[in-house]
Amino acid sequence: MIPIRALFLLVLMVASSAWAQGPAYDIGVDGLSCPFCAYGIEKQLHKLDGVEKVETDIEKAVVVVRVKDGSTLDRNQAMKAVKKAGFSLRSFEQSEEK
């Protein structure tokens, strides 16, 4: 049987790791129009150090990149990854959502 303290500590650790997310960035991409395009861009962005999650909104032609807590993503890194996938960076800004 698991002691109540140990269970409470486990729950607290899991909850705190969910709160400790790094920043997110909205990257506008010119030419992003299909799932195949999204896959190529996501693949390049996932190769960058610190990238934790990449989500693509094809309709808006925007890729949201979340990095690990303590990491950052700069415009140059994003531009190189998008260009390597065969597309052009339209915009780059840190997302307001946490």
pLDDT in tens, 6-38: 445 555 555 445 556 899 999 999 999 999 999
In the prediction, which pLDDT does 21 show? Answer: 83
| CA 98 vs CA 1, 87, 95: distances in Å | 37, 27, 8
Domains and CATH numbers, the chain: 21-94 (3.30.70.100)
Q: Percent of the chain scored above 90 by pLDDT? A: 74
Q: How many CA atoms lie within 13 A of 3 on its CB side?
A: 3
pLDDT tens column, 65-97? 999 999 999 999 999 999 999 999 999 999 876
Under the banding of pLDDT at 50, 70 and 90, the label for residue 3 is: low
